[in-house]
Structure 1
Amino acid sequence: MESVEQVIERLIQWIEPLGETERVPVLESVGRVLAEPLTAPRDVPIAPLSLFDGYAAAGPLVSGNSLPVVGKQFAGDAPARLDPGTAMRIFTGALLPEGADTVIAQESVTVEDGRVRWDEDVSVGAGVRATGADTREGQTLLDRGTHINAAMLGLIASTGVASVPVSRRVRVALLTTGDELLAPGEPFAPGKIYDANGPMLEALLSAAGVEIVQRAVLPDDPIVIDARLREAAEADLIVTSGGVSVGEADLVRAGVEALGRIDHWRIFLKPGKPLAIGEVLGTPFLGLPGNPVSTFVTYLRFVRTAIDRLAGRTDPGAWPVQPLPLAAARRGGDRPEYIRVRRVEVDGRVQLEAYPDQNSGLLSSLAWADGLALVPPDARLAAGDTVEFTAFKELGL
């Protein structure tokens, strides 16, 4: 069996970035991958401005002195001229008047008879955000391959950039398999089950920002499977759930092998040991196991990696972890195991509570949890021992 890290490295080596780019408005760039380094076209701020409401003056200002207040400077106003030996009322975000270099907070002064007085020394530059304090013209704001988030969007927007070059969206074909599957809302019939993996994967892919170009439930019919796989090969990535094991009814496996190749990898992982990786007419193919939790975990670890690699992200499949203690003792099995957990507070301390039944067929465990905790193989963990926790929220879910 191969480790999760070995499989991820294999995917990164095997899959090549698409290399196709487009420009999008900055407000539509969250979740996209930057295709070129982005540099600042101007200083931010473009000129010194006040950090808070107060009084602008020329420093240094010695405690116990006072100055006459000669006017007001609002945010958005062109900078006024401040004569020596005077102060000006100023508001948060306003440009400093010409001749001023210091701002005294309004909480630190008294104003009487048109004069402002302060009782503590104020150094030159206090209360001022200097020109270029945030970014400098020509500075690299974000590197190529950066996955843009809301904070980064704010940084880009602060420089006045209206659009950014990004990798085009990855096109994914999503196929689930089996004559037994019903779509939600269809009348129930004996021997049938409602398709959960398909809608779940569709939601996960949508959260990843991909374009789902084909969505189909494949019947147990080799002719139909062949036709759907040929259509799916026009995408950048094919993802399936179920139908790729060595069973007699696993017709997708045969269909993939007829049009390309397929490898079955046994991964040193629970849940999600079986994973099929291959290609259909040259298009990368990932066949996920059929149990819902196994589908979910292998999507997070491997499909995300493939999508990120295709999009040119510099850290494909990024997996943020946080060390947190377990609320109860736990024993590890023969493989590393991602258990479904949620954070609880006990005596003011955040701990991880595990779902009582870790069966890989229980979708209720995923709906209950807010993340996954990694239990090493053969571990003997006591309550309070620390494990690696990954929050679903940190993965964009």
Structure 2
Amino acid sequence: MITVEEARERVLSQIQRLDTERVGIIEALGRVLAEDVVSDIDVAPFDNSAMDGYAVRAEDVASASEDAPVRLAVVEHVPAGAFPTRAVGPGQATRIMTGAPMPEGADAVVMVERTREEDGGAIAAILAPVRPGENVRRKGEDVRAGEVVLSAGEVVGPAAVGLLASVGCDRPLVYRRPRVAIVATGDELVDVTEKPGPGKIRNSNSYSLSAQVLAAGGEPHVLGVARDDVASTEALLSRAPEFDVMVTTGGVSMGDYDVVKGVLERLGEMDFWKVAMRPGAPQTHGRIGGTPFFGLPGNPTSTMVGFELFVRPVLRKMAGHSALDRPRHPVTLAHDVKKKPDRRYFLRARVERDGDGGYVARLSGGQSSAMLTSMHRANALLVLKEGESHFAAGSVVECIRLDMEEGTP
């Protein structure tokens, strides 16, 4: 049996980033850029109005007020998408919409709320002064042509999607999503559409694992259920080389019908099969045909916790991420917690702010590894280290935030 740290180090040290691919702009959301993105134009591409109003010469309206408006002749109306054809001279103005190019001669925009139309729109009565440059967005104010706007290694978020579109990068180069094969094991499993008979349970793990893979940025591929015999298990596990990662659930303990460990040793190589943790000490890791293999325990919470600690960071590293671990921070226990001292515990909990700006944690329900309800209610895992058995109310322990993405401050 090895420690959690040793298991994670062994697992992650063998993982490399996947190859790259070009995808559409929207498909790039959440992906990691594999190269810098350089703008082909200035953004904004021309001086333009930041407001609906009138483009003017600031010196013409320096004395304007509601009591003594400055009246200017309107020489043109320029909507967004059009280009001005007339310059603005002394005593003149152009009616202009937000985003429309500034006409020659004008150096400021008076917002429409500080103006009044007269003579059917032929005259603009200006009710307030403006400074030169006021309400004008300058050419290249956001981005200059040739400038790196997004760097390799950055994660594409919604704003980055907009930048990609703004600079004409319609097929950004990103790291590929890991393709993850999922295999549930056990004669007791039935489909979710079936009502379980005596000794049977629905196959929930394939679904929770698929959701975890998606949430980690991977592509889940559910291969089916391996029954508790060597032939069925070997048939599915032998497909591991078709994928970037294979994850199984169940069949890794010491029971008479737990066959995954033996099949792994026959088809590939095993690195470890027990970790000093709870829930989920039977954590199997190895390779089949070069594909990383994770044999997670069959109890639902053990499966999910094992995925969080070992599989999720692997998928993120493959996908090009540098931040591999969810945020951790200290919390104060709201009540006593007891455990066995021989291994590290990861307990499902709700973490909330206290009145002093810190965090307080309460268990989110029963801690049986078969109970999914407390995992559903949890937003954190309390980390209770080896060597201690009693944590009194008021003790400070560490938590892993399940409701925060990696890299969150």
TM-score range, shorter chain: 0.7 to 0.9
Backbone CA RMSD of aligned residues: 3.4
| CA distance in 2 between partners of 1:264 and 1:14 (Å) | 14
Alignment match, 1:337: 346
C-alpha spacing 1:389/1:15, structure 2 compared with 1 (3 Å)? closer
Contact 1:324 1:352 (C-alpha < 8 Å) held by counterparts: no
Alignment match, 2:270: 262
Contact 2:229 2:257 (C-alpha < 8 Å) held by counterparts: no
- 1:366-377 to structure 2, matched below 5 A, reads 366-369=375-378, 371-375=379-383, 377=385
**Counterpart check, 1:390 vs 2:401:** yes
DSSP 3-state at the match of 2:238: helix
- 1:63-142 to structure 2, matched below 5 A, reads 63-64=63-64, 66-70=70-74, 71-85=76-90, 86-107=92-113, 109-111=114-116, 113=118, 114-119=123-128, 122-142=130-150
Alignment match, 1:31: 30
DSSP 3-state at the match of 1:123: coil
Alignment match, 1:317: 324
DSSP 3-state at the match of 1:257: helix
Deviations for 1:301-347, whole angstroms, at most 9, x for unmatched residues?
Answer: 32121112222x132534246x697794454755363523276999x
- Give the aligned residue type for 2:80: A
Deviations for 1:55-104, whole angstroms, at most 9, x for unmatched residues?
Answer: 22233653536251513221111134332332222222222222223223
Contact 1:145 1:314 (C-alpha < 8 Å) held by counterparts: yes
Structure 2 unpaired stretches of 5+: none
Contact 1:293 1:363 (C-alpha < 8 Å) held by counterparts: yes
Alignment match, 1:12: 12
**Counterpart check, 1:58 vs 2:57:** yes
Contact 1:372 1:391 (C-alpha < 8 Å) held by counterparts: yes
Identity %: 36
- Give the aligned residue type for 2:100: A
- Give the aligned residue type for 1:17: R
DSSP 3-state at the match of 1:287: strand
| CA distance in 1 between partners of 2:2 and 2:73 (Å) | 74
| CA distance in 1 between partners of 2:238 and 2:193 (Å) | 29
DSSP 3-state at the match of 1:25: coil
| CA distance in 2 between partners of 1:376 and 1:79 (Å) | 69
Structure 1 unpaired stretches of 5+: none
- Give the aligned residue type for 2:107: D
| CA distance in 1 between partners of 2:305 and 2:187 (Å) | 25
TM-score of the aligned structures, taking structure 1 as reference length: 0.83
| CA distance in 1 between partners of 2:5 and 2:277 (Å) | 11
- Give the aligned residue type for 1:142: L
Larger Rg: 2
Contact 1:324 1:389 (C-alpha < 8 Å) held by counterparts: no
| CA distance in 2 between partners of 1:50 and 1:95 (Å) | 6
**Counterpart check, 1:211 vs 2:219:** yes
| CA distance in 1 between partners of 2:362 and 2:134 (Å) | 48
Of 176, 185, 191, 1:177 maps to 185
Alignment match, 2:176: 168
| CA distance in 1 between partners of 2:321 and 2:85 (Å) | 47
C-alpha spacing 1:35/1:110, structure 2 compared with 1 (3 Å)? closer
| CA distance in 1 between partners of 2:98 and 2:3 (Å) | 54
Alignment match, 2:194: 186
> How many pairs were matched up?
388
- The Cα of 1:258 is off from its aligned counterpart by 1.4
C-alpha spacing 1:126/1:359, structure 2 compared with 1 (3 Å)? farther
